[in-house]
Amino acid sequence: MVICDEPSWKYAVNDVNPLFDANQIYGVTLRRVKTTFLRGTKLLHSFPGQPSSVYIVAHELAHIMLNSEDEATVTQAAAKWMAERNDFDLLAK
């Protein structure tokens, strides 16, 4: 896992896919090279209505554990894991 500052995050996201909006996503997992990039600012500063830092990490771990790019499957798995540990805060407060 690579935790990125804002300039590095924008560079990494643009390098992965120039069509991605770096302001709208918080993590990218590249399974083929076994690397996950996380937007460090969002791990440190969550805002109401946005994904919590715990959820961001769980979501990217789900990509790795399930070896999947299917966002619906990954989102469901991350939410299930959080529920199992009684952490229902998918969104920051």
The arithmetic mean of pLDDT across residues 55-61, rounded, is: 93
pLDDT of res. 64:
93
Pair 69, 44: CB distance under 8 Å: no
pLDDT cut 90: percent of the chain above it:
59
The arithmetic mean of pLDDT across residues 46-60, rounded, is: 89
pLDDT of res. 90:
57
pLDDT of res. 36:
94
The arithmetic mean of pLDDT across residues 11-31, rounded, is: 91
| 3-state SS class at 56 | helix
| 3-state SS class at 68 | coil
Cβ neighbours of 21 (radius 10 Å): 8
Q: Are strands 35-39 and 27-30 parallel, antiparallel or unpaired?
A: antiparallel
